[in-house]
Amino acid sequence: MMKRIVLLLSIFSLIFLLNACSNNVTRNTDNPLPDTNGKEYTFDSSDNIKVTINKNTSTSPDSEETVTDSAIRSEIPQNYKDYIKQLDPDNTSDICFFAVEDMDLDGISEIILATGSSGDDPFDNYVEDLYILTDENGVIKQLGDDLVSGGYMVYHVELIQMNGDSRKYLYCGLTNGVSLKGFKIIGLKDKKPYELCYSASATGAGEDKLTDTDNDGLFDGYIQYRSSYDVLYYSVIRTYKYEDNTFKLVQTDIALPDYPTGVKDVILQYLSLNLIVEQGTEEVNQRLEELCSDKNARHISFEEDGLYNALFNTVMEFPDGMDFVIDEQTDIAYVKISYQDESNGLHTYSFELKKLDGKWTITAIRQGQ
């Protein structure tokens, strides 16, 4: 009886020590890999830590079973700890993520190790170093560089799988600790880590998250939420779908403001929506058709003309915006806009507008006139 009590206390102590990086991080703590008969096993503890042991990743997810606590919660091999200490001797953080997984399905498992600290708030979690290693007959090698890089800090690490893709990927949650949440997804090909996807707003504000629409545990896309200056302060939701090993934009939804009343505002709203909308919803596309009835205008690439900076400065009433020359009559208006791009190249557009049913509508756009 006493031996069982001591064993249970030891198990709970080890759970506490390994609970870092994130409350929902996938961890793998096997030393050495237990005899799993070539199957993949998972165990979910009461604190939502998911520990995965994978000896042969050719097995489908349907072959999951439960392993005894002692088989899963074993010490992280000391030689792995020693190796990452050699990579970053000044790093004094604890190991907060450990997984063994054949990410690229070549029959050789990789070791994923992260060091860092955690707090009560997810934004307090901090991953300092993140490595993918191989261990072939006791020879440990690092694959690629430290995966913690870039302007935003990593606060969450997890192994994930995409819908229709049997490989495993490393998800890294990104944040600036204030108003941004994003992510990057790391894959492995030919023993070289690569970035499958990076989605985090450069403005420092916004939220991007993976989606699992049918709740089968396989992610099938992601959603971006934007409302800062990168989208001219419109509220924008972009939806991406995972197909053929890449993410494709399938829809852009915008919280549309009221229809503009003035000639200049009609032009500004039309140009703004053109620049920030791709694959718009039916509502957005309908607004664009109301703002401009000129079908030929769809062939004009405002983005290639470097219009965004001038448009942004105009909307924000900053210098170096667009110059407007407006000839407005009772129910018809002629407008010429001009601006300079970043190379001081001059661009001009001419607009014709008519007032139909009490609303101004662009009926013609001519470039370079």
Give tens-digit pLDDT for 263-275.
999 999 999 998 8
Q: Distance (Å, rounded) from C-alpha 40 to C-alpha 81? A: 24
Same domain, 185 and 72: yes
- pLDDT of residue 35 exceeding 60, the answer is no
How many distinct structural domains can be found in the chain?
2
What's this model's pTM, rounded to 2 decimal places?
0.75
- Give the pLDDT band (50/70/90) at residue 23: very low
Whether the CB-CB separation of 84 and 94 falls below 8 Å is answered with: no
Indicate whether 126 and 25 sit together in one domain: yes
Q: Which has the higher per-residue pLDDT, 272 or 56?
A: 272
What's the whole-number mean pLDDT along residues 326-351?
Answer: 93
Q: Where are the beta strands (DSSP E) in 145-295?
A: 153-161, 168-175, 180-189, 192-199, 206-211, 221-226, 236-243, 246-254
Phi-psi region of 319 (alpha: psi -120 to 50; beta: other; left: phi over 0): beta
Query: Given this model, what pLDDT does residue 208 score?
Result: 97
Where is 131: in which H helix or E strand?
Answer: strand 126-136
Q: Which of 232, 254, 276 is the last residue of a domain?
A: 254
CB-facing half-sphere around the CA of 326: CA atoms within 13 A: 15
Distance between start and end Cα atoms, the chain: 91
- The pLDDT, as a whole number, for residue 124 is 73
Model pLDDT for residues 131-152, shown as the tens digit of each residue: 999 998 889 999 999 999 878 9
Residue-averaged pLDDT of the chain? 80
* 241 and 283 together in one domain: no
Answer yes or no: do 245 and 273 share one domain: no
pLDDT of residue 122: 66
Q: Are residues 242 and 299 in the same domain?
A: no
Residue 154 is predicted with a pLDDT of 94
79 and 221, same domain (yes or no): yes
Predicted local confidence at residue 369, as pLDDT: 66
21-35, 85-99, 139-153, range with the lowest pLDDT: 21-35
- 25 pLDDT above the threshold of 80: no
- On the question of pLDDT at 47 being above 80, the answer is no
Q: Are residues 178 and 104 in the same domain?
A: yes
- Give residue 297's domain range: 263-367
DSSP assignment letter at 68: P
| Residue where one domain finishes, among candidates 203, 226, 254 | 254
pLDDT for the residue 17:
35
Examine the domain organization and report whether 175 and 316 are in the same domain.
no
Query: Of 214, 234, 254, which one is at a domain's C-terminal end?
Result: 254
Average pLDDT over every residue of 77-81: 91
Are the C-beta atoms of residues 201 and 175 closer than 8 Å to each other? no
Residue 299: CATH number of its domain = 3.10.450
- On whether both 147 and 217 belong to a single domain, the answer is yes
pLDDT above 70 (res 2):
no
243 lies in the same domain as 300 = no
Strand (E) or helix (H) holding 53: strand 50-54
Q: What integer is the mean pLDDT of 23-35?
A: 33
pLDDT bracket for residue 31 (50, 70, 90) = very low
Same domain, yes or no: 97 and 237:
yes
Phi, psi of 180 (to 5 degrees): -135, 135
Are 208 and 319 part of one and the same domain?
no
